[in-house]
Structures are given as C-alpha cells and as structure tokens.
Amino acid sequence: MATRMKLKLKTVFVLYFMVSLMGLVYALMQLGQRCDCSEHDLPKDRAISRLRDELYRLQAQIRKLEATKQPQNQPPKSSLPTIFVITPTYSRLVQKAELTRLSQTFLHVPQLHWIVVEDSPRRTPLVAELLRTSGVTFTHLYVPTAKERKLQEGDPSWLKPRGVEQRNEGLRWLREDRRDQNQQGVVYFADDDNTYSLQLFEEMRNTQRVSVWPVGLVGGMKYESPVVEGGKVVRFHTGWRPNRPFPMDMSGFAVSLRLVLAEPKACFDGEAPMGFLESSFLKGLVTLDELEPKADNCSKVLVWHTRTEKPKMKREDAMQSQGLGSDPAVQV
Amino acid sequence: MPKRRDILAIVLIVLPWTLLITVWHQSALAPLLAIRKACHHLVKEIFIIPERFAVHHHRLSDEGGEGKREAGGQDSKEYCASDKDIVEVVRTEYVYTRPPPWSDVLPTIHIITPTYSRPVQKAELTRLANTFLHVPNLHWILVEDSQRRTPLVTRLLRETGLNYTHLNVETPRNYKLRGDTRDPRIPRGTMQRNLALRWLRETFNPNSSQAGIVYFADDDNTYSLELFEEMRSTRKVSVWPVAFVGGLRYESPKVNAAGKVYGWKTVFDPHRPFAIDMAGFAINLRLILFKPQAYFKLRGVKGGYQESSLLRELVTLNDLEPKAANCTKILVWHTRTEKPVLVNEGKKGFTDPNIEI
C-alpha cells in the first residue's frame, strides 16, 4: 500500500514538473513574438494616431510658413552673427531657478551661444544637467575666485567686485576657441539675475565695435542711459559717479567679437575701484564717440537690473539644528 | 537521504513558477508603460525642447562641457520603435515660432496672474512671457490691480503674441492699508484671482468638451517648462513641491506608497487643510465650472489659509493627484525680486518719466 502511494506521489510530482516546464517554455516563446494585445492598446493607439495626425498637420503648416518666408529678404540663419553670452554664476539657493528662467529667455534667440562660467573649482552637476537639458548651445567653464577676493557672509554686495575671474575666463576661452575664424559675432555679459527682453538681442546683433543702451533699475535710479545727440553718445545719464570713463552697467553694452579678438589684452580688472569694472574693460577697446547707440537712440529700456531676494531659511535652519531638515537629495 | 530528495523536489517545483511569474509580470507591464510614455514623449519632444533635435556641429574640445543635447532623441526611439517615421520627422531645426502652434489635442492651461504697478512690473511680466512663450496651448489671464487697464501691460501683452485675456479690478485702498485684527487686510491678489475665476465661469460652458487646467502663477516666481506638462494631466486637483516657501528649502505634500497625499511636509502650520502655496497646485477647469460658488475667501482669512479657503470647497485630501515624480522634484521656485533702491531719483525724479521701465 505504502509503495503504491509513494509511486503515485512520484508520478504526480513528475507530471506537475513537466506541465509547469512546458508552460514556462510556452510563455518564453510567446514573449519573443509580438503580442496580439489589441484589447489593451485600443484607446492608447487611438490617442497616438490622433497625435500623429496632429503632428503631420502642424509640420505641414510649418513647412507652408517657411515656404512663404523664403521670398522675403531674410538672411539664412547660419549667416546671422552669433551672440556669445558670458554668464558668471555661483552656487546659492536660487541658482537653479535663475539659470532656468535665463535659459528660457535664451532659448528664443537664434544663433546664441551661452558661455556659463561657474565660480567653483570644478563643474557642478546641477549646472551641467541644467545646461544639457536646456536646449541652448552652451559652453560650460569654471574658475574659482581666490578666497580674499570673495564676498563673505554678511558683506554688502558692493564690497568686492563679483564675477571678474569668471568673465575673464569666458573671454579667454573665446579668444582661444575662435581665434582662427573670421565669423561675425557679438559678446555680451549677462548676469544670471537680470531680466532681458528678446528685442535686446536683435538690437545688439549687428554691433561693429561696442554698442550701448539704457538699463533699467540700476544705479539707484529707474534707469541709467547713454545720452545720444546727433546719433552719437555724448555723455551718460547716471546718478552715481558720472565721471567714470564708462558709467554703465555690465548689461548695458555689447562688444563685437572681432574687437575682442583684436585686443587680446583687454579684460576686467578686479583691482579697479567700485563701479569702474566696466570701464576697466572698455577703455582698452573703444572711445566715447565710437560707441553705437541702440534701442531707438537709447530711448527704450530693454534690460532690467533685477535682483532676487535671498530666500528666508529661518525654519530650515531651525529644523536642521534638530536634524529634521528637508531632504538634501531633492535638488532645489 | 530523503531530506535531500525532498529539497530537490521542492526546488524543482518552485523554480519554474517563480521564473514564470517574474517574466510574465515584466512582459505584461512593459508594453503598456511604453505606450503611455510614447504619447507623453511625442508631446514633450515636439514642443518643449525641440532644440535638441536641431542639426548642430559637434565640438569635442578638451574644455569639455560644450555642445547641445543630442542623446534626447534616443528616448523616443526606444518607445516608438514601430513608428520610425515619427522619430525621423521630429528631428528638424528648432523653429522660432512664438508661441508654439495651437493643438486641438492638448488641454489648455489657463494661467491666472494678478499683477500691480511697481518699478519691476514690466521686467517681471517680460520674463514671465518669455517662459510662457514656450508652452503650447497656454492662455494667460492677467488681472491688474488698478482702476483701469494700464497701457504698459496692454502693450506688453500685445507684443508678446501670447493668447491672453487682460482684466482689471482695483483692491479698495482701505482694505490694503488697514491692519487691525478685526478687519484684516485682504491678502494681495485675492480680488484679482476671484475676478479671473468669475471670468472663466462666464466664458466657458460646463457642458462643453474643452479641456482646461487652471493655474495661479504669481509674476515673480520661476517656473520650469516641465511643470506645465505635469499639470496638463490633472483630473481634479494636482499638487507638487514648491521651493523657497515657508522658510524652508521647499515645502511638499506627503505622498504615501499608494501614491496618495496624506499630509503636508511643512513647518508653518502643517495642520492647515491644504498647507500648500499658490504655485503648488492646479485645478481642472471642469471642477471650477461645476462648483461655481468656490472662490478665495476675501475677509477673515488667517495668513497661509488662502489656498485652503478655495481648495476645501473643491476637493478633499484623498482626491489630490501628486505630480513631479510623486512630489520629489522641484519644478517651481517661489523667488522674490528685490525692491530696487531708487535713492538717486531724489524727490523730483532724476530720470525722464516718459521712458517706460
């Protein structure tokens, strides 16, 4: 009796094993082939085909628009002078936000090459990832500022000049990288907290030597501006130290690439007294009467020297002291 | 001896079943996921970052870190492998059409922005417009806190080319200045947001099939383009983290393993019904239209309870949809712009007042 039972059990096991093995083999074979799962995918397939039709329609529309644009006197995009924008940046809470909205502005401007220079001993992953996903043509550089030249916690923002080494590094790269090419280009220094209108970039694109325009919300005034008479800049309208050679903000001028390459010694002097940073660069490049006024003879404000508040971290600091700070893995 | 045989038997039984289950599980889910992502990717790749696909020169300098993003196209290739023609067609030059063409398929995002006159207003609206010009199917409802629509805003809106609606309502002065506890001030922007809600209810028919999402965007915050795509799939009310609010690096909803919101990760009064910033949620238009009595409470609202005053009339905690990878990514920053120091203007004003800033 016992042996027969055992035998039965053994056969049961063997049968079971064979069945399961066959089932597995069958399943594996099914995987290799395309599944006929039409009942899952029907609504999603419909959505995809709808989107696809939409896409074709839009592409046709775009092609039609481009076709009608050709007869006009528009220079093909590749011959537009490239605008090289040099942005020094440094790590702080609002850095990602500032660079994000800056990239959103730059993404609208054709033939723009963004040179981001970090105040850091190495490239940070935050900036690298942001630039990579932004869609803007970019160059990612870095140079750390020496400790004694850096603003310390609690220093007023005007105490030491900021971004000097970084802008100089941007100029150095430009001179190195573009020295053999004869292409037209414009160099613009854009800080990461200012606000730029799209029209500004079109105004500066055809700079021959150095072009200038008004800047809003700077120098303790609603705007600072060059004063234009007879199509030439005769003096500057500014409320603070108007006797500087070029009493302008960094965002108020652009230099042609040709000039930057022709004067390889011209760069920003970190030792210059407060407010003379721009002048230290420009005096080696151009004289007052050579300046090209833009923005409708310097009567429109196309760039604003906005500054972003430092976010209050009182509660964060309190929480961190208790060991309950917000997850540092979440990138802000 | 029987022990070993038993163990062998057990292993032989269990092994094929575990293999079967894991393999079957994978194969069943993967195609479904792929299709959903493909739809999403089609929209994203075409509209959001088309520059990726632009024909570009590739410079491999030692300085490194240069060049456009070129690997992005591979994502869509993986998922839409059967539709090779779509992937090829999408790889075109970035066309600088502003704003992107209107799509019949995407839900419209109605963005309500209250604004008021101050020196940085034009700058804020300019950079906000620069952001919005990248978002397809966007409708900007700008409500001024003024007696009549100002020419500055009118001109700015017209020049951007965006799809917009320009409204205005003035917050009565005494509501702004009075500070006693019995009649506290109306939080800024409330009347303007309510006016926009009323405009939406008057303009849109609840029975129409027009899909829409309502989002309250203040003019000094910073928004990533990904945020708008996240909110487009809102069914009732969706939520996500916001950076730099509540004195923290970020405030965020608490999401459990089932993907439901069960609390709020904030320090400032986390027991509010909805401890979230204005920029941290979006509402489906249908919900707004079906509950025509829901507005932001004007008077008697404690600091930080403004958002709750609207949301509690619309939805419960359970209905909230967490976005941004289950509320782990920051897609919106509550930046604030410094008030510019205008000392050098002096009493009479130094600069030409005719020049608009």
3-state secondary structure B103-136: CCCCCEEEEEEEECCCCCHHHHHHHHHHHHCCCC
CA distances from A50 to A265, B24, B26 (A): 59, 30, 28
Contact A240 B38 (CB under 8 A): no
Concerning whether A290 is annotated as a catalytic residue, the answer is no
Q: How far is CA B323 from the centre of its chain?
A: 10
pLDDT digits (tens, 9 = 90+) for A26-42: 877 877 665 555 555 56
Contact B243 A55 (CB under 8 A): no
Q: Closest approach of chain B CAs to the CA of A224, in angstroms?
A: 8
Stated as kind and residue range, the H or E segment containing B74 is helix B72-79
User: Measured between beta carbons, which residues in chain B are less than 8 angstroms from residue A331?
Assistant: 330
- pLDDT at position A108: 92
What's the average model confidence in pLDDT over B80-90? 33
Structure tokens at A224: 């600072």
- pLDDT at position A311: 81
Contact A313 B328 (CB under 8 A): no
A189 or A27, which is more confident?
A189
A306: amino acid identity, one letter: T
Instruction: Please give the model's pTM, rounded to 2 decimal places.
Output: 0.74
- pLDDT at position B314: 94
Distance CA B314, CA B17 (A): 48
pLDDT digits (tens, 9 = 90+) for B180-229: 444 456 788 999 999 999 999 999 988 877 899 999 999 999 999 999 99
Contact B126 A44 (CB under 8 A): no
Would you place residue B273 in the very low, low, confident or very high pLDDT band (cuts 50, 70, 90)?
A: very high
Nearest residue to B314 via CA among B284, B294, B298: B294
Residue of B nearest to A93 (CA): B249
Q: Is B36 on the interface with A (CB under 8 A)?
A: yes
| Rg of chain A on CA atoms, in Å | 31
Q: Is the pLDDT of residue A169 over 50?
A: yes
- pLDDT at position B79: 33
Between A47, A56, A221, which is nearest B342 by CB? A221
Q: Is the pLDDT of residue B52 over 70?
A: no
- pLDDT at position B85: 31
CA distances from A151 to A58, A127, A137 (A): 51, 21, 31
pLDDT digits (tens, 9 = 90+) for B281-311: 999 999 999 999 999 998 888 888 999 999 9
3-state secondary structure of A39: helix
Residues found in chain B? 357
User: Measured between beta carbons, which residues in chain B are less than 8 angstroms from residue A299?
Assistant: 355
Find out whether the peptide bond into B99 is cis, omega within 30 degrees of 0: yes
- pLDDT at position B268: 86
Distance CA B128, CA A34 (A): 47
Interface of B with A in 141-200 (CB under 8 A): none
Contact B46 A305 (CB under 8 A): no
What share of chain B in percent tops pLDDT 90?
Answer: 52
Q: Is the pLDDT of residue A314 over 60?
A: yes
pLDDT digits (tens, 9 = 90+) for B135-168: 999 999 999 999 999 999 999 999 999 999 999 9
Would you place residue A180 in the very low, low, confident or very high pLDDT band (cuts 50, 70, 90)?
A: low
Interface of B with A in 280-309 (CB under 8 A): none
Contact A121, A165 (CB under 8 A): no
Stated as kind and residue range, the H or E segment containing B322 is strand B320-322
Would you place residue A316 in the very low, low, confident or very high pLDDT band (cuts 50, 70, 90)?
A: confident
Contact B45, B90 (CB under 8 A): yes
Nearest residue to B238 via CA among B114, B340, B84, B107: B107
Contact B335 A308 (CB under 8 A): yes
Q: Is the pLDDT of residue B353 over 80?
A: no
pLDDT digits (tens, 9 = 90+) for B91-105: 334 445 578 888 888
- pLDDT at position B299: 85
Least confident of A21-25, A226-230, B1-5: B1-5
Residue of A nearest to B118 (CA): A222
- pLDDT at position B60: 30
**Would you please indicate which residues of B are annotated as catalytic (active-site) residues?**
307
Between B20, B23, B355, which is nearest A299 by CB? B355
Return the bridge partners of B112, or none: B141, B216
Contact B31 A54 (CB under 8 A): no
Start-to-end C-alpha separation, chain B: 92
Between B38, B330, B355, which is nearest A223 by CB? B355
Least confident of B142-146, B323-327, B342-346: B342-346
Would you place residue A25 in the very low, low, confident or very high pLDDT band (cuts 50, 70, 90)?
A: confident
Q: Closest approach of chain B CAs to the CA of A245, in angstroms?
A: 20
CA B77, B81, B85, B86 dihedral sign is negative
Contact B16 A20 (CB under 8 A): yes
Distance CA A96, CA A99 (A): 5
Helices (H), chain B: 2-43, 72-79, 84-90, 121-132, 151-160, 173-177, 190-203, 225-231, 285-290, 306-311, 324-327
What's the average model confidence in pLDDT over B126-142? 94
User: Measured between beta carbons, which residues in chain A are less than 8 angstroms from residue B329?
Assistant: 330
What's the average model confidence in pLDDT over A55-79? 63
Q: How far is CA A125 from the centre of its chain?
A: 14
Q: Is B29 on the interface with A (CB under 8 A)?
A: no
Structure tokens at A290: 């050579």
Q: Is the pLDDT of residue B64 over 60?
A: no
Return the axis-axis angle of helices B72-79 and B2-43, rounded to nearest 10°.
120
User: Measured between beta carbons, which residues in chain B are less than 8 angstroms from residue A80?
Assistant: none
ipTM exceeding the 0.90 mark: no
Would you place residue B131 in the very low, low, confident or very high pLDDT band (cuts 50, 70, 90)?
A: very high
DSSP B259: S
Distance CA A167, CA A84 (A): 12
- pLDDT at position B66: 37
B220 or B74, which is more confident?
B220
Question: Between vectors from CA B238 to CA B36 and to CA B274, what angle results, nearest 5°?
Answer: 160
Q: Closest approach of chain A CAs to the CA of B355, in angstroms?
A: 7
Distance CA A151, CA A157 (A): 7
Contact A239 B63 (CB under 8 A): no
Structure tokens at B236: 């009732």
Nearest residue to A51 via CA among B42, B34, B271: B42
Interface of B with A in 64-103 (CB under 8 A): 64-69, 83, 86, 89-90, 92-98, 101, 103
What share of chain A in percent tops pLDDT 90?
Answer: 46
pLDDT digits (tens, 9 = 90+) for A72-120: 444 445 678 999 999 999 999 999 999 999 999 999 999 999 999 999 9
- pLDDT at position A157: 65
Stated as kind and residue range, the H or E segment containing A277 is helix A277-282
B343 or A143, which is more confident?
A143
Residue of B nearest to A50 (CA): B105
Contact A332 B333 (CB under 8 A): yes
Distance CA A113, CA A108 (A): 12
Start-to-end C-alpha separation, chain A: 75
Contact A225 B119 (CB under 8 A): no
Q: Strands (DSSP E) along A182-324, which ranges?
A: 185-189, 195-196, 210-212, 215-216, 223-229, 232-237, 253-256, 292-293, 303-304
Q: Is the pLDDT of residue A290 over 70?
A: yes
Q: Is the pLDDT of residue B45 over 70?
A: no
- pLDDT at position B90: 32
CA B302, B306, B309, B315 dihedral sign is negative
Between B52, B130, B241, which is nearest A104 by CB? B130
- Which residue is catalytic, options A169, A203, A278, A292? A278
Contact B68, B94 (CB under 8 A): no
